[in-house]
Structure 1
């Protein structure tokens, strides 16, 4: 539903991607080449298809306390918090007679980290993958795991101030670090949604009591006018420079930064902050130089090393991302035109970075003999790995040096 972020089983491989034997072979072959595997770990929520959630539908089950259930009526929500994917953050379950919290999609029920049994099970999950040779974990939206237990209405916003960097989040992460991350020598990087410098100074403190490093996204909101993602706007480069200065100085000698421009949730940085035309290669090199010139651990997302651009999709049917489809439906119902919404998605959708890696100019860019799950960009015949390796002035050469 959300490309794997709705976890139905923490200790199995989705058959769409292969088998556990395939995973073990990947780890073995990677280690033989001096490569370590970092696994994306979603600990804030599970799929509603997870056995824990299915068991939680029974009010008498101990798994009821694995999730956040609250009283209400079908037309009276527990509070006014909003989901990050649109709509309210509560879903009524008629058979249970209560609402459950989902900060993301309806199919992604938030776990109740206040319950020690939940934390114990999640530690076992991390141990399981460490035993299989994983050397690091990327912890998805991990600063959202602690909620204000009074669950107040937010009269001034969407509710995020009551669960972002929540009241017990540092306590929970110190416990995970003490019991699992440190003993198993796991590198941990936390994805921090709407966080602050002050909290990241604690999350990624050099004493290692919580995490190894953190991702923050403030620098990728300089083209969000008024904090609004789904509005077209030019980046504020003055604000970008000020944010980098603020975080570099604030983390220096105190905590560790994870540096990045791109990931699977962000548009291609060349399209966003650079140029897709004559100066694409120059812009990509410049952006790489900025990233690698700062203090922290740089992350390069697939395709960034060859200067990939947004794919320029022209129809809503080209998109697979649940957030993008939800936005299109919601805004269309409010009266925005399809053409306007498609222009916004072409610039802002998460699917801009989720297209297949183009290895050459042939069919499907050499990514697959079958039909890819999402289309390639319209310029993959010009921008691909084979072309980059053959061009001594390509983006790849300085990045790989």
Structure 2
């Protein structure tokens, strides 16, 4: 291209850009800008708007995937999140959100979810005078799951509108919070030909965002082996706004809600928060119920609650749990760091670090071996270590 041709090309580009900018400004004589060229103004004087949350700094008001280990209690956690979102919790609960919203809970087994909420209602609602059955009926709507193709959901948005909740600030400002829709489980609610097909998964989530433009939680099964992710194509997580992972420690039975990614799990979020995880506590409530023969029997129902863990608190708690597991492994015959490594299924360096920490803290000691022996000094649980295990 000659210099003259280059100059003419640049001049033509400037004229086209000016015409596009006029079109963006509403000049009817200008050309209609391409969708990718509809410029938005950058105004650094405008007040920044914080992200909208379902649970402040924990769960975004977008498309959220909740997955986790088998048997960890994903539906139980989903019911707990539903009650928090609807303000069916203590006024001083650390996760009570700023915005109150109604909840539509679409479940494979609605009876199970209602049992969980009834247990929480009896233990934390009626007993403490915070909320009652009438509040649950008003705020949470239960639906039996039907698997539908996402492209058939056109028209549902208008029916969601009456469920919005108007929230009032002390300043007099108001905000209408749209309902939270929980799909428990994704596979029971969203029909796809092949859940392992990325294109199909991505299209399904796009249709959901288009036709169900409200905060949505998709509770999903994990793959075989609890591999720290959700079952199916990677797009189920990649295209979502947030991925929350619920883990269950097989030995301590401690349940943790992971909000940020770590080396074992693919949790993700598109916002920054000081809360990296939630610690799950649970309890059991006993009800009298009727069996198939109409006889009264006792039925035990477990519900859960969650409390936030700040950055660093989860690491400290997990280290404490690993110390306990190390002491128990030695008690059961793991007499060296390599044996502890095998018993705990951790890396060699981590096992050596845990053994060193336990010895320095007086929970383990090394037993002396005869002079000249090539054998390493075996580990032994001290009285202090035994007391720690018994505590």
Tell me, yes or no, whether TM beats 0.5. no
Higher relative CO (Cα under 8 Å, sequence separation at least 6) belongs to: 2
The structure whose Rg is larger is 2
TM-score by length of 2: 0.31
TM-score by length of 1: 0.30
